[in-house]
Amino acid sequence: METQILDIGEDSLSAAKNILEEDGLVAFPTETVYGLGADAFNGEAVKKIFEVKGRPQDNPLIVHVHKDYDIERIVCDIPSYSYKLAERYLPGPLTMVFKSRGRISPVVSCGLDTIGIRVPSHEGGQRFLKFVDMPIAAPSANISKHVSPVTAEHVYADFCGKIPLILNGGKCSGGIESTVLDCTGEVPCVLRSGLVTREMIAEVAGDCTVFVPKAGERVRSPGMKYKHYSPNCRTMLFEYERLEEAAAEYKKERAAGSRAYIMCDDGCAKRLLDKIPAEHMLLLGNSGEEIASNLYFKLREGERVADIIIAIAPEDRGGVMVGVMNRLTKACGG
């Protein structure tokens, strides 16, 4: 199969719609990462997502809709705090889980009676969703367990020859996947951290909990139990306080002939300037938002140039950094 990368316009959107109507898959941009989409009403099409990704059969997909779509057609029991959250944060990187009306294909939710709904803010992504005017089931457009894609080229690297069309919307600005929020209870509960933080949700909803699985307890967001986001090279992760050890590790690897690279934020890089040449650094930036935006891009760059990525965790741990650290830890083997 030939895989086309096309800019978003009338022709490419018509092509995308045709593909979706014939049970096919289309990759499309969102503000977080690229998605690999299928018609969410069409079980046969949705099955193909699991096949091409190599995704475990018990990890449900989320459903993407345009901003004028009436989600009450597909989910019910929407609590009042969700309307407030939607008012404030949608379109945007927040996925809300509601009770399903049973109309979306059961393949999407892997047998759960709930559905995660996402309204992305990316202009090209919105245009696509509006044009096809159907709910689109989509996980991140990467081979299962690989680093999520933030450019059309990243999607191509994983799915060349396996999907017909990638809609090109440039580099995703957000950089880590949406916050997944369980909205089936009285108090919303974060199942996966992201750019819409627990604090931002609590500010609007009055309260917000974070799901932390206890040993033996069922994982409520099934995707969280799998190894994830891993580049195709060796990785190590050091705490911020242990940057000297990271530098020593770099030196040892280089001496052994390995292409070792240090991945860290800009502040940390300054402290290492006398030990690590700038061209062997994968810089993540300064603020939490900047680091989130660069993380997958730099991990993908790293796997192309490095035998080993030696990452140093940023010092700041609040807000957006909760989600960043979750990804970084998993990328480096948990």
Distances (CA, A) of 279 to 118, 130, 235: 38, 43, 18
The Cα–Cα gap between 40 and 136 comes to: 5
Cβ distance to Mg ion smaller for residue 81 or 296: 296
Q: How far is the CB of 67 from Mg ion (least distance, A)?
A: 23
Q: How far is the CB of 224 from Mg ion (least distance, A)?
A: 11
Cβ distance to ligand TXA smaller for residue 33 or 321: 33
List binders of Mg ion among 68-127 (CB under 5 A).
Answer: none
151 binds Mg ion (CB under 5 A): no
Q: How far is the CB of 94 from ligand TXA (least distance, A)?
A: 9
Q: State the binding partner of 118 from Mg ion, ligand TXA, none, CB within 5 to 8 A by kind.
A: ligand TXA
Cβ distance to ligand TXA smaller for residue 306 or 331: 331
Q: State the binding partner of 95 from Mg ion, ligand TXA, none, CB within 5 to 8 A by kind.
A: ligand TXA
Cβ distance to Mg ion smaller for residue 140 or 293: 140
The Cα–Cα gap between 81 and 98 comes to: 12
Q: How far is the CB of 63 from ligand TXA (least distance, A)?
A: 8
Q: Contact at 8 Å (CB) between 83 and 146? A: no
* Sites of contact with ligand TXA (CB under 6 A): 30, 32-33, 35, 59-62, 93, 95, 97, 109, 112, 114-116, 118, 120, 138-140, 177-178, 180, 191-192, 220-224
218-225 long-range contacts, CB within 8 A, separation 24+: 220/182, 220/189, 220/191, 221/180, 221/182, 221/191, 221/192, 222/56, 222/58, 222/59, 222/60, 222/110, 223/59, 223/60, 223/192, 224/191, 224/192
**Nearest-CA neighbor of 133 among 32, 13, 27?**
13
What stretch of H or E contains 164?
Answer: none
Cβ distance to ligand TXA smaller for residue 114 or 258: 114
Kindly state the DSSP code that residue 273 receives in the 8-state scheme: T
Beta strand 281-283 with 234-238: parallel, antiparallel or unpaired? unpaired
Which residue is closest to Mg ion by CB? 140
Q: State the binding partner of 263 from ligand TXA, Mg ion, none, CB within 5 to 8 A by kind.
A: none
140 binds Mg ion (CB under 5 A): yes
The Cα–Cα gap between 77 and 57 comes to: 26
179 binds Mg ion (CB under 5 A): no
Tell me the number of residues near Mg ion by CB under 5 A: 1
Cβ distance to ligand TXA smaller for residue 196 or 281: 196
Q: State the binding partner of 135 from ligand TXA, Mg ion, none, CB within 5 to 8 A by kind.
A: none
DSSP letters spanning 85-144:
HHHHH-SSSEEEEEEE-S-S-HHHHTT-SEEEEE----HHHHHHHHHH-S-EEE-BSSST
Q: How far is the CB of 43 from ligand TXA (least distance, A)?
A: 16
Q: Which residues bind Mg ion (CB under 5 A)?
A: 140
